[in-house]
A = this chain, B = another copy of it.
Amino acid sequence: MTFSLIKTLRGCSQLRLPVAIKASSAVISNCRVLHKSYSVTQIELPKKMATSKALPLPQIFKYVDQNAATYKQLLKEAVAIPSVSCDVKYRNDCVRMVHWMQEKLREVGASSELRDVGCQTIDGQEVKLPPVLVGTLGNDSAKNTICIYGHLDVQPALKSDGWDSDPFELVEKNGKLYGRGSTDDKGPVLGWLHAINAYKGIGEELPVNLKFVFECMEESGSEGLDALLIEKLKPEGFFNDVDYVCISDNYWLGTTKPCITYGLRGISYYFLEVECAQMDLHSGVYGGTVHEAMSDLIYLMDQLVDKDGKILITDIYKSVAPLTENEKKLYTTIDFDTEGYRQQIGAHKLAHNGNKEQILMHRWRYPSLSLHGIEGAAFQPGAKTVIPGKVIGKFSIRIVPDQQPEEVEKLVFDYVHKKWAERGSPNKMRITAQSGRAWTENPDHPHYQAAARATKLIYQTDPDMSREGGSIPVTITLQEASGRNVLLLPMGAGDDMAHSQNEKINVRNYIEGIKLFAAYMFEVGKLPK
C-alpha cells in the first residue's frame, strides 16, 4: 500500500502520535494519501512512548531500512528535475527544483520561505536567479540548533557526454544509484529530509532544532547567496540561535572509510575572452587574413600551467601556508590507496609520480589550476571549419590557506595582461573572475567529536579527519554569518564522480547516510546547550 508518509507525519506531528512501522498490513490511520512514493503503514501506538535518550536510534535505523525504496524514489524525482544552474535555459528547472524542495520541507513540518536574491547578468542581460529556500523546524530553546546547508542545482550533463544512461533518470545498478545530482548534492539534501522523517516516523521528537539554507546556484558561484546570508538573514537574526552549522556536500576520501572534513580549497574561476571579429568566419574565405582569436586564446591558456600541474602565474605560491613538520606527518598516516585512485579514473600515470603524501597535499593544501574548456569555439563532433569570432577560455585555480581571492585574482590579471602585451595581438582581450576563499575549521571541536561518534555508530570505525580539494565557498560565509563551528559531513564515496559522467551514489552510502544524519542530530542534541 502506498501512502504519503511525509505528509502524513506532518499532519500528525502536532498530535505527537507515535507511529511505528509494520512491513505488512496494519491499522491504517486516517491521514490522507498524498504522496504515492512513500510506501509504509502506520499503526496506533500508546500516546507517549517511554524511550531513553539513547533508544530512538535503533528504531530509526530500522525505519530507514524499511523505507529505503521510498527514499530512492524521492531521489529519482529530484534527479529528474534538470536543475543545471550554469545554463540559463534550465533556469525554470532550477526554480521548479526549489519549489519541489519547499513542498518537501512543508511535508516534514518545517516552515520555509523563498528568498529573492536578485538577478545575474548574462551577455549583458539581467536574468533572475533562482530563489533561496530558507527554513526552520523546531524552536525549543532547550535544544541545540543546527543550520543545515545544501544545494539543489547540478552540473550540466548530457547522455552524449558519455553517460551510460540518461543523466536525469536515476538508475539503480549493482548497488549504485546513477544520475546527475545523486551525490552532488540532491542525495545528501534528501538525506536530511529522510532523517527528520525517520524521527517522526517512529514518533520521536527531533533532538535538535533545525534551520535550512538550500540554494540552487552552488555550481555557478552561489550567486546572490552571500549577500542574502550576510546582509539579510544575519541582521534579521536568522543565525541568532544557531549553535552549529553542518554541510553535506563532499565525499569520503576513498570508497570504504568515512571521514569528516575540516578544510576546503577555495576557487578562483576565470573567463578569458578574446575577440577577433563580430561573427564566426569561414576558415577558407578568411583564413590567412585575420588575427584569429583562437590562436591568441590558446597562447594565453598555454602560459598558465605546465604539464606537471605547476602554476606558472608569477608569485602564485607565495602566500600558500608553509608546510609544517607536524602537518607533513599527518599525511603519512592517512589511509589512501593511490593505485586504486589511479585505476578508478583510468589515468595512465598520476602527477607527482603517484606519491601518496604529494597527491594528498596537492589535493588539499596546494593550489591547482585546471583548463576547463572554451566557449564559442567548435565543440561538436566532426570537421567544422570555423574561425570563431569570439572565444571565452575557462580556467580556475583551487586556492588554499592563506591565499586570498583578491590577491590571487590580481596576480592572475597582472600575469595575463603581461602575457597579452608580449603577444602583441591587435585583438580585444578581457579577463574576469569569480572567487571563493579556502576554508579550515578546528577538528578538535566538540561538534566534530559528536559527528565522529555518530559516524562510528553507523560505520563501526573512527572517521578520518580530512580536508578536501573541492570548494564550497558558502562554508566560510556560514562560518562568518553564524560565528559557529562549521562541519562537513560527507554522505557519498570518493568514487562518486560528481561533475563527471555517470555520477552516482552508493545505495549503502545513501541509506547509511540517512542514519548517519539521524545519529549526528542525536549526538549534537546531547551537546551542552
Contact = CB atoms under 8 A, between A and B. Distances in A.
Interface stretch (A343-351, A454-462, A509-517): A343-351
A434 interface: yes
Contacts of A378: 372-375, 394
A283 B396 contact: yes
Interface in A485-513: 494, 497-502
A125 B342 CA distance: 28
A284 B383 contact: no
A370 B306 contact: no
A285 B381 contact: no
Interface in A231-286: 251, 265, 267, 269, 271, 276-286
Given A285-B469, A426-B349, A434 B383 contact: yes
Contacts of A97: none
Interface string A379-406: 1111111111100001010100000000
A346 B290 CA distance: 11
A502 B278 CA distance: 11
Given A267-B385, A308-B291, A468-B284, A279 B372 contact: no
Contacts of A85: 382
A86 B156 contact: no
A341 B286 CA distance: 10
B499 A282 contact: yes
Contacts of A425: 307
Chain copies in the assembled complex: 2
Nearest to A160: B89
Interface string A76-117: 000000000111100000000000000000000000000000
A265 B284 contact: yes
Nearest to A85: B382
A114 B157 CA distance: 38
B385 A288 contact: no
Contacts of A118: none
Nearest to A398: B287
Contacts of A477: none
Interface string A356-385: 000100110011111111110111111111
